[in-house]
Chains A and B, each alone.
Chain A
């Protein structure tokens, strides 16, 4: 919704320095969030963050090997980039809550992305358990980012429960299929007041641009970068796509027509 206010402002938005994104008490100027999983070398993580211009990076607590510098993924997220630990592996609200508390106790801050996935075949999130975990963790002082199947009633309840944003999926995790849930995402973007951050399924920069053109507040992706032949190059491409999509949204995309339009309107003759 905030984007619409910007588009009525006087002056050009081409450098988007005014397009500040308030999230969880932080002021961000980048709308691309990246993951830190599936890389063949953890040294790629800071390179990817830099190339994408990301200011938020997620880390799966389940993979963090606190005993080893090389295995401690949190050490690869550069300073200046906010760590967003996620509860991947949790199959119930209770497991998600325990992981969140572990993350906070380990010094990862109080931001937490809730991933409650009881389905290991398709990796579909459990919206009900996610809602439960959100309520508990908001009350315990966390800044909560719930990952959900895009369902507007669930998103409204998450908003009421105090979630900092909602993170609906575009397509299954790891699928790189793009915005298969496009129509449902549009509903959330229209009806939900907290930021809508499209997460999962974004496989190509065009998908990321599309999400931003629809009016998403931000996007989160991991596999789209990690599975590329040149992850750093791809991260840069995604960063540019998110900026392009956001600028397109702020500049007001033209109407889509299914028929050829003459440049003079049909009824223009009445005004002659």
Chain B
């Protein structure tokens, strides 16, 4: 059974009806449990839980400090290429947008890596648009060969690949996988993915499971919040991790909460997700999945990001560029606007001011050594 089948009981679930009937008693009961069920998670995502945010935050903070410590893992994103054959209504790389397209040469990858590593970063997330021609798995593998020289942790956020391709990349040194389903509601998914292989909802939905089977150490999921109804999308994201965590216990899981924000093309969100909803999402996730990481990127504003430290966030990017390259060479437009434009030292200082420690390294590739 895949996640698609696992979702079946919830496919025609009346989310609005359920959250509309949640009482204060239901929220308090969920809050007092040590181990939450999916419906407890949904209870904490409901608008009724908004009245209990402080109590949720106290508990979430306590769990985070015990499980992770007062630490924030740092990473930087690097766009290797923005060629893309998909027509996603909300994305700056949409095949229909006339933007500068580029794929970094290995020499350019090295320049970018050097520039990023100079800021102290040791954890890199590389991204590409969907193009098997311009950013093939072999191209990715060659880029990893360069990135390994500068970074201890390498993760990818690319188009869905086959299990064997994930295995190949894991063997080459990739230890993390990120993929946003964008939208868990099948009908809405079809509405916003207008052309290209990304229209295949199930292939994308099953990609995280393929990555787990291929032996990726860390798997990071998310929905693009604002594409559809907040409550159900936040719920399915958590449920997806819950499902995978049970079947692939050797994987570390994390959730990101990317929120739709402006870009070239002006896509209007289904309904804008509020700051309070993002906070509620983070707190509910922390209580439902005590061992899952929570990542917040530079899509969010500086002050807001800083407030989230201590509420359950465990990983943050800094000094990010969302154009191809962008650290050493400026060649293209951004995929989306970065709201937190602070430099790496500024973000690190902000984390330290909160009494938290930025951590740059969490693993490294273990080479087979010759001495037995």
**Nearest B-chain residue to A96, judged by Cβ:** B366
A69 to B259, CA, bound (A): 36
Q: State which of B291, B356, B364 has its C-beta within 8 Å of the C-beta of A120.
A: B291
Say whether B361 contacts A62, CB under 8 Å. yes
A174 to B364, CA, bound (A): 23
A211 within 8 A of B: no
Given A102-B366, A174-B66, A174-B67, also A40-B361 (CB < 8 A): no
Given A120-B249, A123-B291, also A39-B357 (CB < 8 A): yes
Say whether B249 contacts A118, CB under 8 Å. yes
Q: State which of B65, B71, B250, B360 has its C-beta within 8 Å of the C-beta of A91.
A: B250
Q: Which residues of A contact B69 (CB under 8 A)?
A: 37-40, 223, 226-227
A89 to B252, CA, bound (A): 10
Q: Which residues of A contact B359 (CB under 8 A)?
A: 63, 71
B363 within 8 A of A: yes
A134 within 8 A of B: no
Say whether A38 contacts B369, CB under 8 Å. no
Say whether B363 contacts A62, CB under 8 Å. yes
Q: State which of B252, B357, B362 has its C-beta within 8 Å of the C-beta of A42.
A: B357
A40 to B64, CA, bound (A): 13
Say whether B66 contacts A40, CB under 8 Å. no
B-side interface size class = 20 to 34
Q: Mark A175-198, 1 if CB is under 8 A from B, else 0.
A: 110000000000000000000000
Given A40-B70, A123-B291, A175-B66, also A64-B361 (CB < 8 A): yes
Q: Which residues of B contact A65 (CB under 8 A)?
A: 122, 152, 360-361
**Complex interface residues of chain A between 111 and 132 (CB less than 8 A to chain B):** 118-123
Q: How distant is B69 from chain A, measured CB to nearest CB, in Å?
A: 2
Say whether B366 contacts A99, CB under 8 Å. yes
Q: State which of A41, A64, A95, A227 has its C-beta within 8 Å of the C-beta of B366.
A: A95
A98 within 8 A of B: yes
A50 within 8 A of B: no
Say whether B361 contacts A71, CB under 8 Å. yes
Say whether A71 contacts B66, CB under 8 Å. no
**Complex interface residues of chain A between 18 and 63 (CB less than 8 A to chain B):** 37-42, 62-63
Q: Which residues of A contact B366 (CB under 8 A)?
A: 95, 98-99, 102
Given A119-B249, A119-B250, A120-B291, also A68-B66 (CB < 8 A): no
B108 within 8 A of A: no
List the 3 closest A-B pairs by CB distance, nearest first.
A38-B69, A40-B70, A98-B366
Residues of A within 8 A of B (CB): 37-42, 62-65, 67-68, 71, 89, 91, 95, 98-99, 101-102, 118-123, 174-176, 223, 226-227
Residues of B within 8 A of A (CB): 65-71, 120, 122, 152, 217, 245-246, 249-253, 291, 355-357, 359-364, 366-369, 371
